[in-house]
Amino acid sequence: MKTVSKKSFFIFLFFLPIAVACLALCIGRYWINPIDVYGAFLAFFGYPVETTIQSVVINLRLPRILLALFVGAGLAVAGAAFQSTFSNPLASPDIIGVSSGAAFGAALGLLLFENMFIVQILAIIFGLAAIGITFTLSKAAKTDSILMIVLAGIIVSGFFTAMISLVKYTADPLLKLPEITFWLMGSLAGANYEKILIAAPLLLLGIIIIWIMKWRLNILALSEEEIQSCGINPKRTRWTIIIAATLIVAATVSLCGQIGWVGLVIPHVARMLVGSDNRYVIPASISIGACYLLIIDTLCRTLSPSEIPLSIMTALIGAPLFAYLFLKKARSWL
């Protein structure tokens, strides 16, 4: 991609989530005219607008849209970071066990505590434990095959999925079980400004760390000796990026449940558009991931009278998209 066209493309990617968000404010169970949406914001300055419209736009749709943008961008960046850190195109939060580990921690928190801060802490702890076990198992196999980390991730995911089932089995069937079950399916239905304030620090911290280190992701593709010759500690760099990505996943899982396919598919879409240089892949993943999840969530809340869980819709759209990417790039992955 030429420099001029790349610059124009990234300007387009910057404004794309804003445009999609503006459109999503109009779409819902009933359509709200863009002028009325604009008026809902001006109502704070005395502009006359119906109270119902202002409440729907400001209190219902806006926080949900903001959370979708944050979560989509975060999961896409985390997926891109994992894939580059492990030099594995199949590495993603849900495949290598991070999502399952974080989900178990969050489910345990929901079962035992009511404090969202504790839920987030447990999600982070078990998310890091999951990636640590996956990484250890893949290294113990003493082979460089990119499939080993996937196989290790399947083992770890299976274990934590069983632990989640145990949590559901012990949960109160009337009070806790429905809450945990619905949450595990992934949803932004309970979005509010309080949740955004809870999630934003971890999400932004993880994204900022990966953004700052995005050029180092390119260097991690080199051999250990070449990385060290650049004055970089490969082990410290990898774990810094892994912890940052896990913070993102833990924050999203603790608030929205498990949302699959975003971290796997979106980084590959970004690479198809801007190439393999992570200095461009990371910002592209942020924009595309934010737009993708916002569009998915808008479909979830409008296609059916009863809201469709996010995990169902992301799988229905993400699986065929990944199949296309797999057929197109399978040889370069193996």
The answer to whether position 38 is within a domain reads yes
What does pTM read for this prediction?
A: 0.91
pLDDT digit string, tens, across residues 276-290:
899 999 999 999 999
The pLDDT value recorded for residue 329 is 72
Contacts for 123 with CB less than 8 Å, ≥ 6 apart: 102, 103, 105, 106, 109, 250, 251, 253, 254
The pLDDT value recorded for residue 9 is 87
DSSP string of 228-262? HHTT--HHHHHHHHHHHHHHHHHHHHHHH----SH
The answer to whether position 333 is within a domain reads no
Contact 81, 241 (CB under 8 A): yes
Range of the domain at 27: 6-327
What does the alpha-carbon distance between residue 266 and residue 281 come to, in Å, rounded to a whole number? 10
Tens of each residue's pLDDT in the chain, 334 residues = 555 577 888 899 999 999 999 999 999 888 999 999 999 998 877 777 788 899 999 999 999 999 999 999 999 999 999 999 888 888 888 888 999 999 999 999 989 987 888 888 898 899 989 988 988 888 887 765 567 888 898 999 999 999 999 999 999 888 888 888 888 888 898 889 988 888 888 899 999 999 999 989 988 877 777 777 777 888 889 889 989 998 999 889 888 888 989 999 999 999 999 988 999 999 999 999 999 999 999 999 998 888 888 989 999 999 998 888 888 776 665 5
* Overall number of domains in the chain: 1
The answer to whether position 315 is within a domain reads yes
Contacts for 200 with CB less than 8 Å, ≥ 6 apart: 70
The answer to whether position 334 is within a domain reads no
The pLDDT value recorded for residue 91 is 84
The answer to whether position 241 is within a domain reads yes
The answer to whether position 1 is within a domain reads no
Contacts for 156 with CB less than 8 Å, ≥ 6 apart: 96, 97, 100, 101, 130, 133, 134, 137
* CA proximity to 99, closest of 20, 33, 157, 27: 157
- Read off the CATH number of the domain in which 225 is found: 1.10.3470.10
